[in-house]
Every structure is written in structure tokens, then in C-alpha cells.
Homo-oligomer: A and B are copies of this chain.
Amino acid sequence: MMSRRATSLARLASSSSSRPSTLAQRRTLATVSSLFPNEPSAPSMVTEAVPGPKSKELSSNIGTFQENRAHGFVVDYAKSQGNWIADADGNVLLDMFAQIASIAIGYNNPDLLALAKTDEFITATMNRAALGSFPPTNWQELVETGLGQVRPKGLEQIFTAMCGSCANENAFKAAFMAYRARERGEQAQFTPDEMQSCMKNQAPGSPDLSILSFTSAFHGRLFGSLSATRSKAIHKLDIPSFNWPVVAWPDVKYPLSEHAKENAEAEKKSLAMVEEAIVNSNKAGSANGPVAAIIVEPIQSEGGDNHASPAFFQGLRDVTKKHGVYMIVDEVQTGVGATGAFWAHDKWNLTSPPDFVTFSKKMQAAGFYHNLDTRPSMPYRNYNTWMGDPTRTLQARQIIRTVQSHGLVEHTDNVGNYIYNALDDLIKNGAGKGKLERLRGQNAGTFIAFDGTTSEARDKLIMEMRKEGVHIGGCGDRAIRLRPMLVFEQKHADLFLERLEKVLQRV
């Protein structure tokens, strides 16, 4: 039979969206290749399975002082290169999981290695500023030439933080403050009752307001963000939570485009429940306090790669606007290009921007974009010692520059279409038939997922792919999520598709 690569190429010859069609696009792809001229051309496996004995030993040593049961394998980062991850045993795998979707432009990217050697970087890293009170002289320039260059349309303000959970929680805080400011009137002072009751964690100073989120959502693991997270019981068990409302994610069918009509109905139903939950939250005797904000992922990631249409998100914007509820778009995992747009929500073409867009992971820096109307009324209200991290802000700037100068967003959109079409074919006509299902990620860059038939089948597939030298990750109950870096090319996609076909033929 033809190799996976050959069959893919043959099948895709007639597909218009799968290959770069213009000269400019072809030029972009060539430029991407030049980033890592010495990348391996194939996996190199020296142990029968991963983790191998050396990984296991090192993991076991870590286990003496720290949880090690979630270890995949132990990594030799110095030897990792571009899309390729080297492990402790000397195996080299194609990495399509990328540190839980948090590496944007490849291991040991030369642009980042050069940054590390600059005086600016060393000064910022070894003299860590309390940014909210003693910012460095170059802070404005650093932010404006970095994070400021990728402001989501319509959002001017930038709050810097440290991780996805605290990005979301600080956005929650800003939303609560703005909501209460609007209730009490812009000019109003805090009442003595508010000042005193908040010190006892009681209303009216500590109001019973809530954040609405969706079933299967993942927004983080600290106490506020975990209260909005609904992905898995294991994330939530034994932890006290705020009594915040939840609405069912639209029960759509995949591939989305093949079920457009019934999906539109499902989304409409979900939107009606959102509106009902908001209205109910404002009634006396409601189980939840009033909904001040909703938070939503453009593609639910940890919860299983669940998608919805742009119309659904426009509907959310409409219902939140109608009821004076803030809309927080959690782009911690979807942001920074992987969906084929810099921000996944760019593809929605909203008629008015969200109120908050949060980020972390691939940006390395974390935080959120917003507008002046949600800047707190006074200083020190949304504040902490570090207020972000200059090291990671510098890294973010370089990542953004590399992404822009190499056209990595458009590149990822092209590569994503190529993979999606090949997988669609594999599942409908090839070795994936009956073994893989629910393909999603059409027009979503490389943010692609599919399900195994069971949780066990999925886990087995991941382990078998690892033996073949391809590192992929799971999410939800039985999904496999592809999370390659933005420097993932068609040649890597072909290698992945070949190995996947091979594994499917034997499992």
C-alpha cells in the first residue's frame, strides 16, 4: 500500500483548503522551515516504551519529595529542538502536546536563546520588580512593543499576572468591582457598612455575586477559578466552592459543518438557559447571587475539545450586553495563534468586543486585556507584589515578534486545515473508521481533536503513538487533542498521520 504521506498527498491533491495556494503562503512556509535547520527528520526510539527506565528512575526520585504520579516522562530540554522532545533515556519524539499547549515557537528557539543573553533580559530577570509600585524604566515600551501589539480588537488595557488561574481570578475581581461600582453609582463612596462587613466576609461588603460558566469548562484550579471549572470531579472534590451557576454547553454534533441545523438549535437552547440563569440570579430568593460575569472558552480544551459556532458566541455577547453582565473570554489555551487566528475569538467577528480576554500558556506571560470601564475605582484594589513577571513579558514580546515575522498564525491555519482534512478522510475512509470519531477543529488551525471509542482505547492509542515516537495528549473522557506548536509543518503532519495510520491498523 501507499505510505500515509503518499495517500494523504494523493487524497488532498484536489482539496482547495489543504495546501498553501498563494505565492505569499508558500514563502511563509519556507520561512518556518528555516527556523530549525537541524531538526531531526524522524523519531529516534531507543527504549521499547516511554517512559523508559531512566525516566522511571528519575521520576521515582522526584517522588520522594513531590507528587510524581502525573509524570508522563522526564525530559532532556537541552537536547530538545523545535518540534522534537528528547527524554531522559535518549528517545526523541515529535511533540504534539508541547507542555500542555504552552510552548509556542519550539524548543530552544534561536530567537529566545538570543534573548536570554541580552543585558535587558538578565537585568529584568535577576532584579525582579514589584511592577505595580516600582516598574522599570522600559516597562511601557516593553509592553507596548510586545503584549500591546496583539491587543484583541477593541480592548486597550492590559493587566499582567502570572498564570492562567490568576489571570482569570483577577478578571473576576475586576468584573465584580465594576459591577458593584455600576450598582452604587460611579461617584459613590463605600458605605461604613460595606467597609465593616467585608472584614467579616459578609454582605454588603463581600457581596453574593457570581460567575456563570458552562458544563465541561476549565478555568483554573484556585478557589475562584475552580468554582467556575466544571471539567472533572477529580479537580473539584473536597474543595469548598462558591455556589455559582452552571449552564449546559451546547449539545452539538461533529463535524460541526455537517450538522449545522441541529447544532444551531442546540446552541439556541443553551443561550436560552444562559439568559434564564441570569434572570433567575437577580430574583429574590435565588440560589445563586446575581451573575456579574460569564466566562467561556472559545474551544473547551481540558473538558474535551468542545466547540460551538461563531453564532453561539455572538448570542452570548448579545445576552450579556442585554443584561449588563460582563463577558470574559478565557483564551488561556486557545490564544496565541494555535486556532489559526491570533485569538480564537477573532474568528467570531463579534459586533462588540468581549469585556475581558485572558491569556497565559503559549504567551508565557499571563494576564488579561480589558477596557477602562473595568479598571478599579482606586489603586491597590486589584494588586499584588509582583503584578506579573518581567522575564515572561520579555519572552512574550519575542514570541509575538517571531510569530509575526514568520507568519506563524496563517501558517498554522494552513497546516491545521491540512491535518483536519487528512483526519476526516482517515476516519471516513481509512484506518480510523470505527476506531475514531467526532472529529472537531475544522477551520480552527491545529486545534484539532477526535475521540477514541472508550477511555481505555484512547489511553492505549496515546501509549502506542508514543512508542512510535509521537507524543500526543488526551482531554475529556476519551478525546485526543492535538496541540502542536506554531512551528509545526506539513512534513511533521505527514509523519504524525503515517504513524497514526500504522497504530490504528494494529490496535
> A residues touching B (Cβ–Cβ < 8 Å)?
58-59, 61-62, 64-67, 69-78, 80, 85, 88, 99-100, 102-103, 107-109, 112-113, 115-117, 119, 121-130, 132-137, 139-140, 143-144, 148, 156-160, 162-166, 169, 172-173, 176-177, 179-181, 190, 194-196, 198-202, 205-210, 215, 220-225, 227, 230, 233-244, 246, 289, 360-361, 364, 375-376, 378-386, 391, 395
Contact = CB atoms under 8 A, between A and B. Distances in A.
A290 to B, nearest CB: 11
B130 A102 contact: yes
Contact of A126 (B102, B113, B361): B113
Contacts of A210: 240
A499 to B, nearest CB: 20
A207 B162 CA distance: 28
Contacts of A360: 385
B128 A76 contact: no
A226 B195 CA distance: 15
Nearest to A231: B199
Contacts of A172: 223
Contacts of A382: 67, 221
A292 to B, nearest CB: 9
B137 A385 contact: no
Contacts of A69: 378-379
Contact of A383 (B99, B123, B202, B221): B221
Contacts of A122: 113, 116-117
Contacts of A132: 67, 70-71
A103 B127 contact: yes
A234 B195 CA distance: 8
Given A127-B108, A163-B386, A166-B165, A240 B72 contact: no
A144 B190 contact: no
7 contacts: A62-B135, A74-B137, A100-B385, A108-B126, A116-B116, A177-B237, A190-B233
